[in-house]
Amino acid sequence: AVWDDTYGGNSGDGSTRWRSIWLNGSGSVMDYTLVRYGGRSSSSPYYDNMVRIGSGSAVRNSTLENLNGSTSYYYGAVAVGSGGELRNSVVRNNPYGVAVTGSGATLVGNTVTNNTYPVVHTSPGVQVSYIGNDLGGNTYQAVVLPGGAISTNVTLSPPDVLGLAYIVWDSITVNAGSTLTIQPGTVVKFNPETYLNVNGVLLAQGTSSEPIVFTAVWDDTYGGNSGDGSTRWRSIWLNG
């Protein structure tokens, strides 16, 4: 931001943040960069991602911090879209660290820490490749799944930190003709009164050593601290 005197000295005054960098064209690369104090949009809800990584573009060896944001809206310090790559970077001090906006996004070797939540998927049907990331040290240790419909085949596997849970933020429906596969060892937590409605196929086949757990968001027994409260979730409906 123009008022951030930490780098480049005194360049201006104020407190309103800048908006974002959009890497829409294939081949764009940000390497060894520091990005901070962005994410302010001029229109309601006045939030945005600081960096958007589109197909064929990458952010590597960078630090993204201090986003203007709220967990009520699915914006991260960095948004990784279909075919985008976030690699060997640090994402810290944000409401949501990383927002995954499209299937085929790749997160490799990143440290996502000291955020309210490390990762949010902007659709329950997003498929992500997590490889060798450290997603620990956040206020709530969970990947947030928004409500809505799954209309393709999706697999939920345990993210890189052992026991890191998924949160069903709002109720999810698996449409007819689609399959939701949940791999052994995965923990799925539900916000109060939310449900999973399966009109397609649910394959949740754990093992004796790696059960699949479905529980309330405030149940810290599995997946650590993912949220607070005491109201229970609703149910799973196997209609298909």
What residues in the chain have per-residue pLDDT under 70? Answer: 160-163
What was the pLDDT predicted at 163?
62
**Burial grade of 27 (CB within 10 A; 0-12, 13-18, 19 or more):** exposed
What was the pLDDT predicted at 234?
97
Alpha-carbon distance values, 49 to 78, 98, 121, 149, 152 (Å): 6, 9, 13, 23, 26
Q: Count how many Cα atoms sit within 13 Å of the Cα of residue 224 in the half-sphere of its side chain.
A: 16
How far is it, in rounded angstroms, from Cα 172 to Cα 125?
A: 10
Contact call for residues 144 and 169 (beta carbons, < 8 A) = yes
What was the pLDDT predicted at 162?
54
What was the pLDDT predicted at 157?
87
Nearest alpha-carbon partner for 19 in 100, 79, 63, 105: 79
